[in-house]
Chain A
Amino acid sequence: MMSIGKSIYRKEALEKVTGTAKYAGDFSKAEVLHGRLVVSSYAHAKIKSIDTTAAWTVQGIRAIVLGQSFPLTGEEIKDRPPLAFDKVRYYGEPVAVVVADNETIAKRAAELIQITYEALPVVNSPREAITSGAPLVHENLIFYEKIQHVYPEPNTNIADRTKIRKGDMVKGWSESEVSVEASFSFSPSDHTAMETRCVTAEINRDGKLVFSSATQSPYMIKKLMNDYFGLEPGKVVVRTPVVGGGYGGKVAVQLELIAYMATQAVGGRTVKIMNTREEDMISSPVHIGLDATIKLGCTKDGRLKAAEILYLFDSGAYSDKGATIGRAAAVTCTGPYFIENITCDSLCVYTNHPYATAFRGFSHSEVLFAFERTMDMLAKKIDIDPMQLREINAILPGQTTPTQMLLNNSTVGSLPDCIQRLKQLMNWNEGQRIQVSDHLVRAKGISCIWKTSTIDTEASSGVNLLFNIDGTVNIISGIVEIGTGTKTILAQLLAEKMKMDIHQIHVKMDVDTETTPEHWKTVASRGTLLAGRALLKAADDAMSQLKDIASRVLICSPDDLEVGYGKVFVKDEPTTYLYIKDICYGYKYPNGYSIGGQVIGTGNYMLRHLTHLDHETGVGKPGPEWTVGAQGVEVEFNTQDYTYKIIKAYSVIDIGKVLNQKAALGQVMGAMSMGLSFAGRETYVFDDEGRVLNPRLRTYVPMRYGEHPQYMIHFNETTHVDGPYGARGIGEHGLIGMPAALANSLSVAAEVDLNQLPLTPELIWKTKESGGTK
């Protein structure tokens, strides 16, 4: 192998450690105007009046934009005005944007805008939202435009419902000798990318709308501007430089819509809007919350027979991605186990909370927390080792998923192997709970994981390869470099395929939708599969062009030629060759005749045979393959004051093929850290009026240096036939079992069922005091 598997440094490394990498907020020019949001101070209220008189007296104000009744926006249901109109539905919702000569002026004017509200009763949790008589977040749900495969329930707070109906529940329960039922809940939280969302927008003289945006989905912006505002797709250009972290949060198209309205209001002049941290945390979309109830049945010897599941996702005030998240949750509703009989209702529910968008793992860490906790409760009830319960039920090739997709050796990795390996790594046989001293115990907990992606069935990616005169290649792909290093992986794939030195490959980091082939969205751990396959196809294209030119010079069939090591050579006689640099811009014969031209390789890839889910049963194929794994956490817990330290965190993941060892480790480690942080400490705190009490990093506290555990990571490799060199998606998987594993370890340590997040010492204390959750 030339390049695959090696720990190649990321292509943009030097720029990043020298501070020269430019992010969206780093570009500035003197004539830029600044937009500043005015946000709601109520979670649910009627807007009685907005008085802008005082704001207009500030010198340097260029425009004040207020909400309008049209257009309504939203990816599945059009339920959201970009700026609130008529009423506000969450605390922090943008109500107006002030455009001014500089940030200081904009801020001062924004503070002078007087809004009079009339408070409305607040929906403060999904369970509350679905009770009859709950206040409606959207009275007009029935009238909203929507895509075909979303099912809002008029006159309720239910934006969508996905149903899984597999097998026969009567049979399932009759075969179950033991059952448990439990409820789980956690509030919305945040992505907290270190770079807050930032966008500039301008409209050129020829009517072209140009964005520069910190986004994970530049092409989606282009598409949605057409959908929402009727703009010609060719007249919308989105430029995206490197992005300072996304984790799903920058998938949402939100600030761009406001920036468009702002630039329109000032005759197309450039307007920049950069979220403050507080706005980024609650005005822009957040990480979804969940209320869940799970009932599981099994035989005495631990074979799962029935699962009855209710997921109530807290989509907040709008359904934007919430509906898709609810659907993805249904697809993986049981964790990676084979269960014959399943019913699941996964609901996307409106509340008066900040609205949700994708979060790394896309419903999986959330669902697995609930499901894998239930697995531990069941194991305890039938007095079986929790690791063994998972071994018995681990899903295998030849079995079907909740959406009745039949798995094979390629479409699912080997979960039993992952479990075996985890057992060794964790030294599981020494026991799950060990008393270290009077008040100190060490405890271990585990979670199995699986994930496929629930993405657009027509998601596709394109790659262009441009040769330079010295035989080096530029890779041009629409993947956004959000930190995952996927563009470096593309370079590795090309180096491998063309047997060339990785240093001869240049990667264009910025994306410009006008010149860069489309990559659907940089999400769902699908960059490597989609863009990787497109790249391999582009490489094939380039190589056949090179062979074509070489065959005419070497006077042989192109079939007799091979490309590698900077040459095109005769397979049978490698000493007969041409240098790529001498033919990649065509070839010139001694007499001056020339053939060919610049070699430009192009390739694209679209996922095959994906389907929508059947609305009544959930039957369908939503994603290409399942990455599986087994994870664990070991904590040191103080039984006196309920504080704890996470000592070790483990991941064994079937990655298909390791493309870049250290990059893969980094992806998994980072994801584990984020999962532990979410599970242990991150949540928005809402008061009774639905206001967020902690929208800043002093009171919302992600994990910091020194709080991190020792990470133990191992990769198994079961080939995914469709994946480039057999690789599977990996960007999110380190995260998704962490909340469950942490909760399971602490439940063992504290000897009480911990079914809420975040797992703070206070929560453990309260649960202990109240005699445990039900």
Chain B
Amino acid sequence: MLKSEITLYVNGEPRQVYVRHTDTLLHTLRENLGLTGAKPGCLNGDCGACTIDIDEEPIKSCLTLSVESTDKKITTVEGLQNAQIQKEFIKKFAFQCGYCTPGFIMNCNALINKYPDADDAKIKDWLESNICRCTGYAEIEEAIKAVLTKNQQGLSS
């Protein structure tokens, strides 16, 4: 079982970890770094619960190897500081059990940053990669749209 010491840049800090080459980033974040915000839901790329942002792109950390994640900017939900989307998730009741929430928030966060003028089709295109079993999705729709609208108003004023 091959192991190496690597440096990951997580939430603005360099972190040294000793990992197996086959370890997924999800595993390393959770087991080595204690960052349990990203959740295992299927370990298969199907549910999105493990979504984190790598270089501003939402990535499923269960499908990513730790050894290929060096020299990249990794942001987990723990790394968000009072992001608008977090506030709107609370205001719009966009979660219940909360298990899918870090993944959804990280996906939303990347979308908001990358496409501040995202339309319905774009939002659907991005968010359909995550599953929520508790909400009716309408609450999540309200939350992300609230942030997008606020940002747009902010830009135009």
Contacts and interface: CB of A to CB of B under 8 A. Distances in A.
Contacts of A104: 1, 20, 22
B86 A18 contact: yes
B86 to A, nearest CB: 4
Contacts of A18: 37, 77-78, 80, 86
Given A277-B41, A277-B42, A13 B90 contact: yes
A484 B138 CA distance: 17
The majority secondary structure among interface residues of chain A is loop
Contacts of B102: 19
Interface in A490-511: none
Contact of A245 (B30, B97, B137): B97
Given A18-B78, A193-B99, A705 B89 contact: no
Contacts of A556: none
Contacts of A768: none
Given A28-B31, A244-B97, A705-B127, A14 B133 contact: no
Interface stretch (A257-265, A440-448, A666-674): A666-674
A663 interface: yes
B96 A705 contact: no
B76 interface: yes
B93 interface: yes
Interface stretch (A380-388, A694-702, A739-747): A694-702
A569 interface: no
Contacts, number: 167
A705 to B, nearest CB: 4
A439 interface: no
- Interface range on chain A (Cβ under 8 Å from partner): 35 or more
A17 B105 contact: yes
Nearest to B106: A19
Interface in A723-757: none
Nearest to B45: A698
A194 interface: yes
Contact of B44 (A277, A666, A670): A277
A705 B124 contact: yes
Interface residues of B, number: 52
Interface string A4-33: 000101101111111111110110100000
Contacts of B41: 194-196, 277, 697
A706 interface: yes
Contact of A698 (B44, B124, B128): B44
Contact of B133 (A192, A243, A669): A192
B74 interface: no
A624 interface: no
A276 interface: yes
B47 A697 contact: yes
Interface string A147-160: 00000000000000
Given A26-B36, A28-B31, A244-B39, A17 B138 contact: no
Contacts of A20: 37, 78
Interface in B72-91: 76-78, 80, 86, 89-91
Contact of A697 (B37, B46, B97, B100): B46
Given A194-B132, A670-B135, A19 B77 contact: yes
Interface of B: 1, 20, 22, 30-31, 35-44, 46-47, 49, 76-78, 80, 86, 89-91, 93, 95-102, 105, 123-124, 127-128, 130-141
Interface of A: 7, 9-10, 12-23, 25-26, 28, 104, 191-196, 242-247, 274, 276-277, 482-485, 662-663, 665-667, 669-670, 672-674, 696-698, 702-708, 710-711
Given A666-B96, A697-B131, A708-B137, 17 more contacts: A17-B105, A19-B38, A19-B102, A25-B36, A193-B97, A194-B97, A247-B133, A277-B47, A484-B96, A666-B135, A669-B139, A696-B46, A697-B42, A702-B131, A705-B123, A706-B127, A707-B128
